[in-house]
Amino acid sequence: MRGAVLYAPRDVRFEERDEPRITKPTDAIIRMSATCVCGSDLWPYRGIQPVTQPTPFGHEYCGIVEEVGSAVKTIKPGQFVIGSFFASDNTCPICRAGYQTSCVHRELVGGAQAGRLRVPLADGTLVATPGLPPDDLIPSLLTLSDVMGTGWFAADAANVRPGVTVVVVGDGAVGLLAVLSAKQMGARRIIAMSRHPSRQKLAREFGATDIVAERGDAGIARIKELTDGLGADSVLECVGTQESMMQAIRSTRPGGYVSYVGVPHGVQLDGQELFFAHVHLHGGPAPVRRYLPELIDLVWKRKINPGKVFDLTLPLEQVAEGYRAMDERRAIKTLLRP
């Protein structure tokens, strides 16, 4: 089997890898229908997050179950399934509370940029679709493995509900799908912070009512101007930098909600400022498993089309170009077809 391996910054190779096999009775093997490059993959790709040895890459996946371990009871060969980037048992107290990415038995699912994948804890991690999907639904179903579920968590964690004003910080795939999520949850006004015309256009398609191109103090001032000097009810931070986090907190009204779903890099919060900001702060790795049944239903019934975030589709063997295109901002998100 061939798949993507990251050797060093900007050195992704498509090469022979070991075939996945059942190693525990709770495992499943799936044949990939589609995978993709995630924005979080760019941190190690750019050398910001060190990689000390050649590492198989990719954590977003959907496909057909080929084989299951002897302890797997609910997932069957032949089903089309989607799963989270963290495997979970979905039965522990943390999972039952809805935070499967902090499961007491969690395992990172990696190496998905390949033709086949081993998924641990299959019964708790994978969710089957009602049937085999038509090809045009596969991109949207793939987003549920991470970016759509993460955007949905961003909106949920920020208490988005009918009638509120929302700000989304970040115009990558997660930020754009956070816009879509806020719209689906009934937000009255959705302000997308974006400097890029193609992303602004997609944000509008997903439900943004306003676009703010300014950043820093100017961006905060513009948000205050649009919200009668108060700030937004809910601000969704989808980047993970110091600038984006402060942009989010300072754009929120007292008593409002800030969610943060961008993987943090170098973020430090001033306790006194946070204290007097009087905001709710909630985030972390999105528990996408919690939302899979609901989101599969929305995609299956064609009520949402999150697959629009894929603006570049390549055969899997061109994975290195997929990384380059996203790194150089020539693509929002790259879909890879085995």
The domain ranges of the chain are 2-146+287-337, 148-283
Say if CB 34 and CB 138 are below 8 A apart. Answer: yes
Read off the tokens for 281.
């702060």
Q: Which residues pair with 234 in a beta bridge?
A: 166, 257
Burial of 80 (0-12, 13-18, 19+ CB in 10 A): buried
Q: What is the pTM of this model?
A: 0.97
Q: Output the pLDDT for position 293.
A: 99
Q: Do domains 2-146+287-337 and 148-283 have the same CATH topology?
A: no
Task: State residue 121's pLDDT score.
Answer: 99
Rounded Cα distance, 150 and 38, in Å: 12
Scanning the structure block, which residue is given the tokens 């998905």?
Answer: 112
Residues of the chain falling short of pLDDT 70 = none
CATH architecture of 2-146+287-337: Alpha-Beta Complex (3.90)
Q: What is the pLDDT of residue 206?
A: 99
According to CATH, the superfamily of the domain at 148-283 is NAD(P)-binding Rossmann-like Domain (3.40.50.720)
* Sheet arrangement for strand 210-212: 210-212, 189-193, 165-169, 232-237, 252-260, 280-283
Only one residue has tokens 């890459």, namely 57
